[in-house]
A and B are shown apart, each in its own frame.
Chain A
Amino acid sequence: MIGNVITWLNDPAHWRDTRLMTGIPSQLEAHIRYCAIALAIAVVIALPIGLLLGHTRKGTWLVTLANAVRALPTVGVLVLLVVLISPHFTGRTDTGYLIPTEIVLILLAIPPILSNTVAGVQNVEPAVRDAAVGMGMTGSEVLRKVELPCSLPLIFSGFRSATLQVIATATIASYVPLNGLGRFIYDGLAQQDFPQMIGGGVLVAALALVADLLLGLVQRYVVSPGISGRFSKKVVAAAGPITADVVQAEVATV
C-alpha cells in the first residue's frame, strides 16, 4: 500500500496538467489561493476588532459568539451554503462553489484570531501598561507600541491555528466540488484508486506542516526577543500563572 502511494506521488504524469487530470502543482496553487484569500479577509476583520476589544475590555460577548461558531459542523455549513448559493451561478465557472467556500473559511479563521488577540492584549502585564501610560503615551500609542508587540506571540498562535483550520477545510471544499489538493482524495475515493486518495492525504498533510513551519519562522523574526525570551537562558518568557481561561484561549485554537 505504502509503496503504491510512493509510486503515485513519483509518477511525473501526476505533476503536470493533462486533458484528463489537473496536476499536483496546479491543485496546490488553487489550494493556496483559496486559503490566502480567506486568511487575508479574516485578518482584516478580526485583528482590529480584537485589538480594540482587548484594549477597551468591552464586548467580550463577541468573543463568546465567535467561539460558539466553532460548535457548527463545518461540512454542514459548507454544503448548506453551496446548495443555497451555487444555483445562482451558471456556466463554466466555479464561482458558485468558490463564494460559499470562502465564506466558510473566513467564518472558521475569525474565531482563533479574534479570541487570541483579545486574550493577548488582556494578558499584557498591568505594570507594563501602567508604565506606558505613566510615560505619557496616549491610548492608541499604548495599543500600538506596547500592547500589540507584547501580545504578538498569542496573536501569531491564533493566526497559525486559523491557517491550519483553513487548509484543512479547503481540502473538504473539494467534496463540494471545488479544485485544490482535496481533489485527489475525493477523486481517488470515487475511482477506488486508493494510492491516489492516500497520496492526496500525504500532500495535504505536507502542505499543512510546511505552512506551520514557515509561519513559525516568520514568528521568530517578528516577535521581539525580549518577549519570546529566546536569547537569554535565565529569563523565562514572562508568563502569568496558567488558568483555565488561558488554556481555553491557547488550546481552543489548535
Chain B
Amino acid sequence: MIDRIVADSSSSSPFYFWGYFMDHRHQDLAWLWDHVYLSLIPVVAGLIIALPLGYLARRYRWVYPPMVSVMGLLYTIPSIALFVLVPPVFGLKALDPKQVPIALTVYSVALLVRVVADGLAAVPEDVAQAATAMGFGRLRRLISVELPIAVPVVAAGLRVATVSNVSLVAVAGTIGQDNLGRLFDEGKNLSTTGPYYPPIVLGIVLCVLLALVFDLIIVLGTRMLTPWRRVVIGR
C-alpha cells in the first residue's frame, strides 16, 4: 500500500499515464482483459440470437412491427438501470459479475434484430428469384445468397454495437464491476486532495484504442466477406 502511494505521488501530470500503466501493469492488464471479453461476448451472443429473430421478422411480415417495438423499448432503458435490473429479473444476486454481459447482450440483440431484418429486406427481389430459379432451397438461398448480401448492413450495426459496448462496459465500473471503468473510479478516489489524472487518462486512452481495434477488425472482416464490393468500387 505504502509503495503504491509513493509511486502514485510521483507525478499527477495527465501525460504520466504510461508510467502509471507500467507501475500497475498487473492490475491494468487484468482490467483490460475483462473489458475485452465483456465487450465482445455480448456482441457475439447478440448476433447469434438476433439472426433467427431477424429472419423471422423478415419471413413473416406481421412479426416485424411488434418485434421492432419491443426491441426499441429494451434499447430505451438506460445502461446503468439495466445493469441493476438484470439481477432481480434473472434471479441473480444484487451484484453479480454476470449482470454486465447479460445486460449488454440484451442491448446487442435489441439493436441487431432490426439490423438483420432490414439487411435481409435489402436483398433485391430479382436476386432472390434468380436463386430460387437456380434451384436453391429456402435455407440454402438464405445462407449462400441473402446473408452475404446483407453483410454490409449487418456489419454497420455490429460496429455500432461493439463501439457502444466498449463505452457501456466502463459504466459498469462505477458499480464496482471489474473492467477499465475501475481506472476512472480509482482516479476519482485519488483526486480528493488535488487532481490526479494518470489513471483517468489511461482509462480513456485504452477504451478508445479498444474501440478502434474492434472497429478495424469488423471493417476488415466485412471486406473479406464481401469481395464483390471491391470489384465494383475498383471499376
Contacts and interface: CB of A to CB of B under 8 A. Distances in A.
Interface string A160-200: 00001001100110011000001001100100001001101
Interface string B196-218: 11001101100110011001000
B77 A209 contact: yes
A235 interface: no
What 9 A-B pairs are tightest by C-beta distance, nearest first?
A168-B78, A201-B84, A194-B94, A201-B81, A73-B207, A204-B81, A76-B204, A73-B170, A71-B211
Interface of A: 1-2, 5, 70-77, 79-80, 82-84, 87, 164, 167-168, 171-172, 175-176, 182, 185-186, 189, 194, 197-198, 200-202, 204-205, 208-209, 212, 241-245, 247-248, 251-252, 254
B204 A1 contact: no
Interface centre among A72, A172, A194, A244 (most CB of B within 10 A): A244
Interface of B: 72-73, 75-85, 87-88, 94-95, 111, 114-115, 118-119, 121-122, 152-153, 155-157, 159-160, 163-164, 166-167, 170-171, 173-176, 180-181, 183-184, 187-188, 191, 194-197, 200-201, 203-204, 207-208, 211-212, 215
A208 B78 contact: yes
A198 B84 contact: yes
Contacts of A2: 88
Contact of A80 (B75, B84, B164, B204): B204
B88 A248 contact: no
Interface centre among A5, A77, A185, A247 (most CB of B within 10 A): A247
A75 B173 contact: yes
A200 B122 contact: no
A164 to B, nearest CB: 6
B84 A242 contact: no
A208 to B, nearest CB: 5
The DSSP consensus for interface residues of chain A is helix
Nearest to A184: B84
B153 A75 contact: no
Contacts of A176: 188
Contacts of B156: 244-245, 247-248, 251
A198 B118 contact: no
Contacts of A241: 122
B126 to A, nearest CB: 13
Contacts of A242: 118-119, 121-122, 153
23 contacts: A72-B204, A73-B170, A75-B173, A76-B200, A76-B204, A76-B207, A79-B200, A83-B191, A87-B194, A87-B195, A172-B174, A185-B81, A185-B175, A189-B95, A201-B81, A201-B84, A202-B81, A244-B155, A244-B156, A247-B153, A251-B114, A251-B157, A254-B160
B166 A189 contact: no
A52 B152 CA distance: 29
A22 B194 CA distance: 29
A241 B194 CA distance: 55
Contacts of B122: 241-243
Contact of A164 (B76, B175, B183, B195): B76
Contacts of B73: 209
A168 B164 CA distance: 13
Contact of A70 (B84, B164, B184, B188): B164
Given A76-B203, A84-B195, A247-B115, A205 B94 contact: no
Interface centre among A84, A201, A212 (most CB of B within 10 A): A201
A83 B204 contact: no
A76 B80 contact: no
A79 B80 contact: no
